[in-house]
Structure 1
């Protein structure tokens, strides 16, 4: 007969999860929020916080890792055969996730954390490269530069939208899709058609 885990261990896991949830919520309002503010939002003391995270940097790392899991899952769910539709679908899915925690995502995309975030989102980049290579081969995405360079342009376009535009002011304009598809070489009329198709799906 197996021995159940002590309640203390369960409470510790719940406290850690609570800190992560609180961090995303608090950072969405204030990207520079302190440990004390985050711990208070989680209903815990500063001491309890340090029982789970060494410092604020460790917490941010954990927030990025958890968010990356969701982003990577979205990338894997994109199975459209048409590279243009796949790219629109990917941009739509990632933006849909990012806009709920806009400021927290902006923190993750900060220049100081760029390398860490890039490593966590490696599966997204792999999927994006597959799409751009397929689009290059089929002559439906830009062919004036190599697919790997298109990937970088697409990433920077998406990053600019996430870090510099307020979702509340841009809702309904599909700016993430427009920025990504434009970077991939599509004209605005093609982009409009893809957005309309996506809304019907």
Structure 2
């Protein structure tokens, strides 16, 4: 009898176990950024030994949860129409981005100081690239300012989004107003202060 079938079943069982653990990590860390591996294992319906059989430590598990969350978010952002007036596209992109950031604020807080900054930047490469392409098009069309470096504008928007999520969590920014405040703040950063920028 071939041994490939049992190996395939074991691999499938392991993949299902990993998926349950990552889903539980996303759920628990979104509710509490300080959730322990014990909490996550309990939510996943597995023992600690099973969890550590798939993930070396909590950092690795947090990164896996964040990676899956950003992958799901990327599917949403990929559907945003990037054609048309750059300013309107930016508003739509910010709206979708803010929803995703707000929903994953606790998970992002769990990753802060745990997942290396270089890895966090790598995980955000696709959203950053999409935003950079939009800003570049807006600059070429005379809609967005050209007096500041494009990478800096992308970074500034990234920090504004994540900073706003932290302010909401701290109770210093009303959640109901956050999306509009973020959009207006970003527009104040990327739109030319005067017609002079359009002529450069």
> Shorter-chain TM-score category?
0.7 to 0.9
Partner of 2:70: 68
* 2:54 counterpart (52, 58, 74): 52
Partner of 2:190: 184
- Please list every run of at least 4 consecutive aligned residues from structure 1 whose deviation after the TM superposition is greater than 6 angstroms: none
Question: Once the 2 structures are TM-superposed, how far is the Cα of residue 173 of structure 1 from its aligned partner?
Answer: 4.7
Q: Which stretch has the larger CA shift, 77-86 or 27-36?
A: 77-86
* 2:158 counterpart (155, 158, 182): 155
Shift of the 75–183 alpha-carbon distance from structure 1 to 2, 3 Å rule, reads farther
1:35 aligns with 2:37: yes
RMSD between superposed Cα atoms in Å: 2.6
Partner of 1:170: 175
Q: TM-score, normalised by structure 1?
A: 0.79
Q: Which stretch has the larger CA shift, 64-73 or 18-27?
A: 64-73
Shift of the 111–9 alpha-carbon distance from structure 1 to 2, 3 Å rule, reads closer
Question: Once the 2 structures are TM-superposed, how far is the Cα of residue 87 of structure 1 from its aligned partner?
Answer: 1.5
Native 8 Å contact 2:101 2:162 kept in 1: no
Partner of 2:27: 25
- Between the aligned partners of 2:114 and 2:9, the Cα distance in structure 1 is 38
Native 8 Å contact 2:59 2:114 kept in 1: no
- Between the aligned partners of 2:41 and 2:78, the Cα distance in structure 1 is 34
Q: Which stretch has the larger CA shift, 118-127 or 157-166?
A: 157-166
- How many residue pairs end up in the alignment? 185
* 1:115 counterpart (115, 118, 124): 118
1:110-144, Cα deviation, whole Å (9 max, x unpaired):
25533211101111111111111111122212233
Partner of 1:196: none
Native 8 Å contact 2:168 2:178 kept in 1: no
- Between the aligned partners of 1:7 and 1:167, the Cα distance in structure 2 is 46
1:165 alignment partner, SS class: helix
Native 8 Å contact 1:19 1:49 kept in 2: yes
Question: Once the 2 structures are TM-superposed, how far is the Cα of residue 16 of structure 1 from its aligned partner?
Answer: 0.9
Partner of 1:82: 85
1:143 aligns with 2:149: no
Larger radius of gyration: 2
- Structure 1 unmatched ranges of 5 or more: 188-201
Q: TM-score, normalised by structure 2?
A: 0.79
1:105 aligns with 2:111: no
- Structure 2 unmatched ranges of 5 or more: 194-200
- Between the aligned partners of 1:125 and 1:154, the Cα distance in structure 2 is 9
Partner of 1:11: 13
